[in-house]
Amino acid sequence: MKVSISTLEHRYQPGMTPTISAISHTFEPGTLTCITGPSGSGKSTLLYIMALMLTPSAGTIQWGNTSVQQLNDASRSRLRAMHAGFVFQDAMLDLSRTALDNVVEAARIAGISHNVAVEDASRLLERFGVAHRAQHRPAELSGGQAQRIALCRALVKDPDIIFADEPTGNLDSESAEIVWDTLHQAADAGATVIVATHDRDRAEKHTHHLRLSE
Ligand SMILES: Nc1ncnc2c1ncn2[C@@H]1O[C@H](COP(=O)(O)OP(=O)(O)OP(=O)(O)O)[C@@H](O)[C@H]1O
């Protein structure tokens, strides 16, 4: 699903200098776009706005042909649950649930039946080499394992859009490669993949690259 933003601006406080200003861009299905920029340039802010977790001060956001700022909170939540997966830098798993249940829950919220959700979630945990940690809670997982579970949680609903905020920032190189490979595969399969990253070298290799300035 295409994500288009037009003249987006965001101020965290009225009267403050905008954190992001006049950003317009279209992210196409089947592509992986890296958003880069110095620390504080607004990469996370932009991602949170596009993922409908933060309302911009001005500008428009479209998912496909839907102007999302015209929707109420419930409709936005539904749209996000159905169509988007988000990978945070620190996994941000639900600490009260097992690894498997974190993934199952995301599928359930997207409307997938319990049995299918458990099957799909188990298959993903197997694929990412963390099936043996399925019944463990996040506090018992390593950073790399937690991030793989977070990736499973984002992928389980086969999302049209994947947002990832520094998804490999805390990972060893082997786990980081798995995350990047997976994000590329999702784009190759038709998803719109948008990744905020400090990894300029990697981003330079991508045809799709949005640079924010300070
Ligand atoms: N909730 C908030 N309230 C006020 N200011 C905020 C808030 N969140 C972020 N900011 C400020 O907005 C600016 C952009 O932050 P953001 O996290 O989007 O940048 P970033 O490019 O992702 O940074 P980094 O690369 O360090 O993660 C920073 O100056 C930050 O201090």
Of all residues in the chain, the percent with pLDDT exceeding 70 is 100
Pocket test residue of 8, 11, 12 for ligand 1, highest count of atoms within 8 A of CB: 12
Q: What is the ipTM of this complex?
A: 0.97
Pocket test residue of 20, 45, 49 for ligand 1, highest count of atoms within 8 A of CB: 45
Give the chain's domains with CATH numbers. 3-211 (3.40.50.300)
Residue nearest to atom 30 of ligand 1 (CA): 40
The pLDDT confidence band at residue 207, using thresholds 50, 70 and 90, is confident
The number of the ligand 1 atom at minimal distance from the alpha carbon of 165 is 22
- pTM, two decimals, is 0.93
Q: Which residues 6+ apart lie within 8 Å of 208 measured at CB?
A: 27, 28, 31, 32, 33, 34
Cα 98 to its chain centre, rounded Å, is 21
Place of tokens 């300070």: 214
Interval between CA 101 and ligand 1 midpoint (Å): 31
Does the beta carbon of 42 lie inside 6 Å of ligand 1? Answer: yes
The number of the ligand 1 atom at minimal distance from the alpha carbon of 45 is 18
Residue nearest to atom 27 of ligand 1 (CA): 39
Closest CA to 157 of 124, 198, 202, 184: 124
pLDDT at 214 over 80: no
pLDDT at 146 over 90: yes
Q: What is the mean pLDDT of residues 172-191?
A: 90
- Quick: pLDDT tens for 62-103: 999 999 988 999 999 999 999 999 999 888 999 999 999 999
Does the beta carbon of 184 lie inside 6 Å of ligand 1? Answer: no
pLDDT at 170 over 80: no
Does the beta carbon of 41 lie inside 6 Å of ligand 1? Answer: yes
pLDDT at 188 over 80: yes
